[in-house]
Amino acid sequence: MTGKIIIISAPSGCGKSTIISAIMAKGDLDLQFSVSATSRSPREGEIDGVHYYFLTEQTFRQHIEKGNFVEYEEVYPGRFYGTLASEIERITSSGHNVILDIDVKGAMNVKRIYGDKALTLFITPPSVDVLRQRLESRATDSADAINERVNKAEYELSFAPRFDRTVVNDNLDIAVKETHDIIREFI
């Protein structure tokens, strides 16, 4: 039996990582995280092979040339991210379900390849205004950076109708429960 593929996307600041961590911590859905490759540098606390496979741009390009990626995107200028076919294969062929945290375009591409074996789930903020307020209250970004994130979020939100399912993260506990229920039903 082969495992299923769950693809989760969300604009930055929507609580996607928190929701994914909470669901994986429950441990009842036999989910394993697909570790993406990226050409960006590790942030503090990030471990190679756990959070990402951190590659040089040259090595990343070699993987592209060899056709090793199911999908890849330049999510931010000069920063590449990609899902390795070997990663999905390794997890699903041993019967586990795989969870992918990738951007909206990557999500559409993986769905196109795997069809009914894959579920695309989009997490949204209650509104763009609420997202802006959340980013402002975190006070970690400059006004320019916040505007950039909000503009990107508006673009990403335009992809929502193309996802199989959508969860609004207004209340975190409810969003975790809804996401968990949707995944359980799918697998």
Beta-carbon contacts of residue 28 (< 8 Å; ≥ 6 apart): 184
Q: Shortest distance, CB of residue 87 to ligand 5GP, whole angstroms?
A: 9
Is residue 11 within 8 Å of residue 157, measured between CB atoms?
A: yes
Largest CA distance in the chain: 50
**Number of residues engaging ligand 5GP in binding (CB under 6 A):** 12
Q: Dihedral sign, CA of 37, 20, 108, 90?
A: positive
| 73 touches ligand 5GP by CB under 6 A | yes
Q: Shortest distance, CB of residue 139 to ligand 5GP, whole angstroms?
A: 18
Q: Out of 75, 108, 113, 160, which residue is the one contacting ligand 5GP (CB under 6 A)? A: 75
Residue nearest to ligand 5GP (CB): 106
| 83 touches ligand 5GP by CB under 6 A | yes
Report 118-177 residues binding ligand 5GP (CB under 6 A): none
| Gap between the Cα atoms of 174 and 151, Å rounded | 26
| Gap between the Cα atoms of 110 and 99, Å rounded | 12
| 102 touches ligand 5GP by CB under 6 A | yes
The stretch near ligand 5GP (CB under 6 A) out of 55-63, 74-82, 89-97, 140-148 is 74-82
